């Protein structure tokens, strides 16, 4: 049983220095960013909090997010890299070199081909051309929704080839390499802020919505799931401490209001 987020200790909220959050179906709602969610992101940043999306979305999207959103950095492709702006310039920090990424992408082609041939109704994610390190298999974003049995078959094929995979609310992402969202978040915090998250994780909060967020839920004691996480909980081992009343970006706005104490449409400061 997850505690409702409105029971979150406000004294604990005052000690939070940063917010990490997933994007799809955490910051968005039915594929769009609700105005209160984006306003909430601005309020968090204006309050002086560190704000970093931690997403499975591709490098091409993360280039835009790092440049255009009010964020300190963005971790993308489930931990393959982080991007940040420094002195007006985009800085890219990949875990693997370009040569290694190229080699791994070539290996993933065989996995991709078997999944598309074996699991009827799947497709490459529409954002695949903008990816640097992984393959994203669409099971509901732009194709009719597949059942959980089909999702598990996709995962089984990735694992047969020795690839890692994670299930988001829309895609199954697969890659070669021992990394995930949490590992790259730790690297980013150390390199950008000289923060050791192993010792200082209580200063940060994570918000997510699906099984690929489990490493973050397990690690951060202050963790929140937006309400649409509930259908996934039977398939998950590591759950958030709290759940919002509302789904997706509306739940994120709920979180931001409680952390910062603002009302949608009313600017503060």
**pLDDT reading at 269 higher than 50:** no
Judge if 163 and 209 occupy the same domain: no
Predicted confidence at residue 263, as pLDDT, reads: 63
* Domain final residue, candidates 120, 154, 175: 175
Judge if 136 and 189 occupy the same domain: no
Decide the pairing of beta strands 223-225 and 242-243. Answer: parallel
Q: Does a structural domain hold residue 266?
A: no
Model pTM score: 0.93
Q: Does a structural domain hold residue 164?
A: yes
The total of structural domains in the chain comes to 2
Which residues partner with 81 through β-bridges? 76, 94
Judge if 183 and 91 occupy the same domain: yes
Q: CB atoms < 10 A from the CB of 267, how many? A: 10
Judge if 70 and 183 occupy the same domain: yes
Judge if 150 and 186 occupy the same domain: no
* Domain final residue, candidates 144, 175, 206: 175
Judge if 90 and 107 occupy the same domain: no
Judge if 70 and 53 occupy the same domain: yes
**pLDDT reading at 264 higher than 80:** no
CATH of the domain at 150: 3.90.1070
Judge if 84 and 183 occupy the same domain: yes
* Domain final residue, candidates 133, 159, 175: 175
C-alpha separations of 221 from 81, 95, 203 in Å: 24, 26, 10
Each residue of 218-260: pLDDT tens digit?
A: 999 999 999 999 999 988 999 999 999 999 999 999 999 999 8
Identify the domain containing residue 104 by its residue range: 98-175
CATH of the domain at 11: 3.40.50.1000
Predicted confidence at residue 14, as pLDDT, reads: 81
Q: What is the dihedral of CA 72, 76, 78, 79, to 10 degrees?
A: -70
* Percentage of the chain modeled with pLDDT above 70: 97
Judge if 70 and 184 occupy the same domain: yes
């Amino acid at each position: 049983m997850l505690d409702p987020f409105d029971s979150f200790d406000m004294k604990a909220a005052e000690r939070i220095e940063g917010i990490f959050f997933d994007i799809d179906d955490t910051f968005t709602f039915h594929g769009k960013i609700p105005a209160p969610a984006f306003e909430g992101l601005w309020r968090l940043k204006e309050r002086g909090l560190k704000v970093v999306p931690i997403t499975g979305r591709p490098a091409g999207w993360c280039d835009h997010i790092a440049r255009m959103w009010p964020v300190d950095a963005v971790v993308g492709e489930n931990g393959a890299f982080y991007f940040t702006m420094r002195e007006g310039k985009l800085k890219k920090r990949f875990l693997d070199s370009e040569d290694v990424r190229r080699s791994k992408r070539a290996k993933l082609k065989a996995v991709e081909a078997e999944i598309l041939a074996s699991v009827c109704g799947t497709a490459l994610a529409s954002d695949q051309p903008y990816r640097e390190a992984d393959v994203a298999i669409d099971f509901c974003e732009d194709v009719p929704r597949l059942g959980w049995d089909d999702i598990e078959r996709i995962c089984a094929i990735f694992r047969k080839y020795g690839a890692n995979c994670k299930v988001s609310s829309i895609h199954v992402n697969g890659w070669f390499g021992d990394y995930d969202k949490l590992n790259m978040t730790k690297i980013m915090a150390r390199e950008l802020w000289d923060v050791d998250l192993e010792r200082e994780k209580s200063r940060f909060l994570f918000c997510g919505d699906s099984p690929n967020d489990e490493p973050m839920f397990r690690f951060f004691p202050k963790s929140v799931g937006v309400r649409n996480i509930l259908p996934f909980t039977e398939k998950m081992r590591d759950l958030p401490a709290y759940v919002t009343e509302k789904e997706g970006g509306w739940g994120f706005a709920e979180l931001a209001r409680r952390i910062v104490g603002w009302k949608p449409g009313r600017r503060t400061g």
